[in-house]
A and B are shown apart, each in its own frame.
Chain A
């Protein structure tokens, strides 16, 4: 069985259907879900963990856990939140493991690319600005950082952020608002 990616199939209902079919043993359905989410989840894990190898580990673990937990999935149009929640928990587990093994923390020495630019000075400035913004996001307290990453970088809706983080919509809004305020304070001069 094949699944065509057309505009109308990009809906949550379609993902629910894929999840149900995958639960019933349809490998193609699960492969389609993996294809839809692997890049998004990898980017998410990469941003959370700042390391490609750890992101790969988390991606693998997320899909494996999702595969085993599919039987418990209740279709309701929130497959993305369900999957992101698993990924978020895997990332947190990884971070906890890191803290246990590296008391000094992990150095975030990677360069953040600046994007297309021809002028070297503009490139350097943009790189510097990106590094500062990334640093500000990553130095937020965990629950604010997760909300910002899910909302702005994964482009989940507030309701999906709430479901992913296991909080109410109101709490998600409050977290987003406070996280924005903290970011603005941290990026004074850059924004």
Chain B
């Protein structure tokens, strides 16, 4: 007595997963025994394997002639000397130079910031003292255009 259809279908699905795994592993070994047993009685699964197998054979036969061997006669690989990887010594020198460059940029930026802050400080101090000394400053009037006007009652 043959197995019911739903059981056969479940079995086919499981077997086909195993067949797919087998194809993916490109294994030279035989298919698992359980697959062999199933295929003896299942025509669709036999066809399934046969068509994959045929496809593999076709692809392999194409692989051997595409591209033609004549196209491989002149392989032009030459990595130019200028593109070569620097030796460890040259790499060290390059790293030191890069470090020096980064340091120089950092010093330059720091110096610029320092000069900007220090150079502006006397002006700010002078402006602040002159505004405090000015008699024209009225209550409710801004001491400086930069400062907000205080609310008057």
Interface set of A (CB-CB < 8 Å, partner B): 22-25, 27, 30, 34, 38-39, 42-43, 46-47, 52, 55-56, 59-60, 63-64, 67-68, 70-71, 112-115, 129-130, 133-134, 137, 148, 151-153, 155, 157-158, 173, 176-177, 180, 183-184, 187, 190-191
Contacts and interface: CB of A to CB of B under 8 A. Distances in A.
A130 B62 contact: yes
B51 A184 contact: yes
A25 B67 contact: no
Contact of B65 (A25, A27, A130): A130
Nearest to A174: B20
Given A27-B84, A47-B66, A59 B77 contact: yes
Contacts of A180: 23, 52, 55
A52 B88 CA distance: 37
SS of B interface (majority)? helix
A43 B64 contact: no
Given A43-B72, A187-B55, A115 B61 contact: yes
B63 A153 contact: yes
Contact of A25 (B20, B51, B66, B85): B85
Given A34-B77, A47-B67, A176-B24, 9 more contacts: A30-B79, A43-B67, A43-B72, A46-B71, A52-B67, A59-B77, A67-B79, A70-B85, A114-B65
A113 B65 contact: yes
B24 A152 contact: no
Interface in B31-86: 51-52, 54-56, 58-68, 71-72, 75-79, 83-86
A43 B78 CA distance: 17
Category for how many chain B residues contact A: 35 or more
A177 B20 contact: yes
Interface in B61-116: 61-68, 71-72, 75-79, 83-88, 90-91
B77 to A, nearest CB: 5
Chain A CB count within 10 A is highest, among B20, B77, B79, B90, for B77
Interface of B: 20, 23-26, 51-52, 54-56, 58-68, 71-72, 75-79, 83-88, 90-91
Given A114-B65, A115-B64, A34 B88 contact: no
Given A25-B85, A191-B51, A133 B67 contact: no
Contacts of B54: 191
Contact of B75 (A59, A115, A187): A59
The 8 closest A-B pairs by CB, nearest first: A25-B87, A46-B67, A152-B59, A113-B65, A115-B65, A191-B54, A113-B68, A38-B77
